[in-house]
Structure 1
Amino acid sequence: MPTRLDLTAAIVDLDGTLVHTLGDFSAALDAVHDELALPRVPAGDVESMVGKGSEHLIRSALRAAGGPQDLYGAAWEAYQRHYDRVNGEYAEVYAGVVPGLRLLRARGLRMACVTNKPTGFAKELLASKQLAPFFDLVFGGDAFARKKPDPEPLRRTCEALGSRPGRTLVIGDSSNDAAAARAAGCPVLLVTYGYNHGEPVRAVDADGFLDSLAEVGDWL
């Protein structure tokens, strides 16, 4: 049985945890590569590139397409335009997410969404999927000097929430989230349906795993 956690706040990841956004990433990258006359990268390959921020995604896609890295600047500019156009269009909220967020809120927890996606895109996506009202704060990959798996985003978010790390639950889908949580001193649960860079998520060091976010009630 899960161990009940003594919590005052929760920090939740976005891509692969709340929303299945692979379609958005693939559509934006396809448009970028068409613009730069590069081969498209299959969605299955894109999935393993997701989770470490836009810079990593764009550079990884360039490598996969055989494009020179000196195209990065043009690819970055094009990606901002194309992702802004498709943000949320091909994305779906995972089953169990809304019930899970309601459970966290019902326990009186302060809530933040912390993602490596740029803050503007994250806020737009949460609003378009009617998830924004669940969160007191939203921080993207451009909000702090470093991104997950560095613990800085989680530590700074705990401060902003007024919650000690040991009483702040982190929920994510990847080793990035788990490593950041461990280093920050936060308990961490991982969902089993996300991306995790193409690696088995149950092999990651975490306090537990959720097949649905609705299962988070077992830990509260």
Structure 2
Amino acid sequence: MPAIFLDLDGTLIDPKEGITLSIRHALRELGADVPEQDELGWCIGPPLWESFAVLLGEKADLDEAVALYRERYADKGMFEADVYDGIGEMLEELRDTGLPLFIATSKPHVYATEIAEHFGLMHFVDGLFGSELDGTNSAKTDLLAHALAETGADPFRSVMIGDRKHDIFGARANDIPALGVLWGFAEPEELHMAEADALAGAPEEVGELVADLLGLE
């Protein structure tokens, strides 16, 4: 069975406000240096532990940092986001392929499901895969391996759509063709270096590129 896997942050929604403000909250509570919001865009995509290791150093109590982040994020940060223009139409077009659609995000599934429901995205998809609160499956490679096992999808006939190198690397590690999108949080060079199979500059380009990658009529 083929399937279409979609990243959430930076692909379907712009979560910058909620994520960066929650990171700043955690850093402030820890007494660490607090970068401006615009300096934290690179934190959107990787697992939180990786981002805090860079911000605080690997010897810091990363679990405490993540807990402080979630203190604010679970309260209001998760809904400080916007669906990108054209995403509803893009998802409708992908639904018209007849292939199952799944959200595949490094974000904990308990948050991701609530976010997807809040923004009306669950209406378009057949399911959602996210990480556990302890970090299990937060790496895209592990997450997509789990999603393939759960769905029985054929990786060679499926596609992963995402905005960061982590999405591309995770797809390639699982033999899934990867489509990078350029409206998220990576510069084009990041996706070229990760060797995405194709790049979409706007949501309206995705349907045709997916059809080309999967050989759909």
TM score, norm. by length of structure 1 = 0.84
Q: CA deviation at 1:15?
A: 0.9
Q: Tell me what 2:19 maps to.
A: 25
Question: Does residue 160 in structure 1 map to residue 146 in structure 2?
Answer: no
Question: Does residue 186 in structure 1 map to residue 176 in structure 2?
Answer: yes
Instruction: Find 2:96's aligned residue among 72, 95, 106.
Output: 106
Q: Tell me what 2:139 maps to.
A: 148
Contact in 1 for aligned 2:131/2:138 (Cα 8 Å): yes
Which consecutive unaligned segments of at least 5 residues does structure 1 have?
1-6
**Cα distance change, pair 130–202 in 1 and its aligned pair in 2 (3 A):** same
Question: Does residue 133 in structure 1 map to residue 127 in structure 2?
Answer: no
Q: Which structure would you say has the larger RCO, counting Cα contacts within 8 Å and 6 or more residues apart?
A: 1
Which consecutive unaligned segments of at least 5 residues does structure 2 have?
212-217
Rounded to whole Å, the distance in 1 between the matches of 2:27 and 2:139 is 27
Q: Which amino acid aligns with 1:148?
A: A
Q: What secondary structure sits across from 1:133 in the alignment?
A: coil
Q: Tell me what 1:46 maps to.
A: 40
Q: For this pair of structures, how many residues does the alignment match?
A: 209
Q: What secondary structure sits across from 2:171 in the alignment?
A: helix
Q: CA deviation at 1:146?
A: 4.1
Rounded to whole Å, the distance in 2 between the matches of 1:198 and 1:107 is 27
Q: Tell me what 1:3 maps to.
A: none
- Which segment is superposed worse, 7-16 or 99-108? 7-16
Question: How many percent identity over aligned positions?
Answer: 26
Q: What secondary structure sits across from 1:75 in the alignment?
A: helix
Q: Say what the alpha-carbon RMSD is for the aligned residues.
A: 2.4
Contact in 2 for aligned 1:11/1:112 (Cα 8 Å): yes
- Structure 1 runs, 4 residues or longer, greater than 6 Å off: none
Rounded to whole Å, the distance in 1 between the matches of 2:67 and 2:144 is 28
Contact in 2 for aligned 1:50/1:197 (Cα 8 Å): no
Q: What secondary structure sits across from 2:9 in the alignment?
A: coil
**Cα distance change, pair 198–75 in 1 and its aligned pair in 2 (3 A):** farther
